[in-house]
Homo-oligomer: A and B are copies of this chain.
């Protein structure tokens, strides 16, 4: 059976790819180059796809910078040492996961794949609305109304295996499945060689994850 996996080159999506592989899916990886600050993430995604033995890896160019309104795709500075609160941070990209899942859905339908894997997480979720279970469930419903496959009864399933896991649990799962986390990049603001800033929300979550998992953090910080 075929599955399409959204692969950013980060810790979470690389773990999800390993999970899908472990479930014996034929894996098709999709990476969207949406105008991230550094293309090093794309290079890492290519490397991870290659060593994971995916059937096909597509890198799609979709510049999201024209959308505006996010520190990840514009000139707004990425906040460092942000205090934790309940607000949605400036790194939120409007409708990002809806856009990414839509593209994945299109490819999945053309491939004849009915399982779509995404590495969203609602525990350490940084406050993004499109990482919550109710969003994933609703997108799945929409997908099955939107497509020939869904309408004809061959339903799509949006699989978000990390959604209720802590970062430490994700890391332990990935280590058990042989993920090489030194290749993955989580940082919102890495340098051109992929070294992590160590201070943004994503770096802090990642650091704490390795700490709690009692696994040596292979990340190279600036």
By a beta-carbon cutoff of 8 Å, the part of chain A in contact with chain B is 58, 60-64, 66-69, 88, 92-99, 101-103, 105-107, 109-110, 129-130, 132, 134-135, 138-139, 141-143, 145-148, 150-151
- Cβ 8 A contact of A110, one of B68, B97, B132, B142: B68
Given contacts A96-B106, A106-B94, A110-B68, A129 and B141 within 8 Å (CB-CB)? no
Query: Are B142's CB and A67's CB within 8 A?
Result: no
- Cβ 8 A contact of A146, one of B58, B69, B130, B146: B130
A102 / chain B contacts, CB cutoff of 8 Å: 95, 98-99, 101-102
A143 / chain B contacts, CB cutoff of 8 Å: 95, 98
Within the complex, what minimum Cβ distance (angstroms) separates A90 from chain B?
Answer: 11
* A interface SS class: helix
Number of copies of chain A assembled together: 2
- Cβ 8 A contact of A95, one of B88, B92, B147: B147
- Cβ 8 A contact of A109, one of B58, B60, B69, B142: B69
Given contacts A62-B62, A98-B102, A102-B95, A107 and B147 within 8 Å (CB-CB)? no
Given contacts A135-B142, A143-B98, A145-B134, A106 and B93 within 8 Å (CB-CB)? yes
A103 / chain B contacts, CB cutoff of 8 Å: 67, 95, 99
Given contacts A69-B109, A106-B99, A138 and B142 within 8 Å (CB-CB)? yes
Q: Once bound together, how far apart are the Cα atoms of A110 and B129, in whole Å?
A: 15
Within the complex, what minimum Cβ distance (angstroms) separates A140 from chain B?
Answer: 9
Query: Are B88's CB and A94's CB within 8 A?
Result: no
Within the complex, what minimum Cβ distance (angstroms) separates A114 from chain B?
Answer: 13
Query: Are A148's CB and B135's CB within 8 A?
Result: no
Q: Once bound together, how far apart are the Cα atoms of A132 and B151, in whole Å?
A: 11
Given contacts A99-B106, A110-B68, A135-B142, A94 and B147 within 8 Å (CB-CB)? yes
Query: Are A88's CB and B139's CB within 8 A?
Result: no
Query: Are B66's CB and A142's CB within 8 A?
Result: no
Task: For A59, give the chain B residue with the smallest CB separation.
Answer: B66
